[in-house]
Amino acid sequence: MNGDRSSRIAALVQEAGETHHTVYRIVDGDDPDWASWYANWLTNLSELPQILETTPVRSELTWLLVSLDKDYAAAKPETPWPQWYADWLINLSELPQILGTTPVRSELVWLLVSLDKEYTDAGPETPWPQWYAERISQRFRAAAE
């Protein structure tokens, strides 16, 4: 099920990139505010809200896209960027169900920034989605006790 959702979101992210490049063709796709454009297109003009079963807050999605762009450039993963972004979007959208609570957004942002640094410093063999999920679950379980 997640594989299908992930593929569908990756296709939407790819389509957003292609559409953006077409709209900004006169400057060969160059747009310093690209993430705002993508976030608007993804939340208002695509099926993303239906696939995620929630409509992302556009400003949060803009921030997430900028963060993903920086993380992707730093990590240099073999996974194509649309799929990498899609996996992140799904993992973040499922957090309330996994944790049994909806985390405060600022707490989640702080946690993700912290985990990003820990993951980079540790360089574990575990794929990042699994590594992050384990640590997020541990922290929220500890906070609940």
Count of structural domains within the chain: 1
Whether 9 contacts 91, CB under 8 Å: no
Q: Which of 9, 33, 78 is nearest to 23 (CA)?
A: 33
Tens digit of each residue's pLDDT (9 = 90 or more) over 61-114 = 898 899 889 888 888 889 999 999 998 888 777 777 766 777 776 677 777 778
Tens digit of each residue's pLDDT (9 = 90 or more) over 13-43 = 999 999 999 999 999 888 999 999 999 999 9
* Composition of the chain by helix, strand, coil, percent to 5: 75, 0, 25
Range of the domain at 19: 2-144
**Which pTM value belongs to this model?**
0.70
Q: Which amino acid is at 74?
A: A
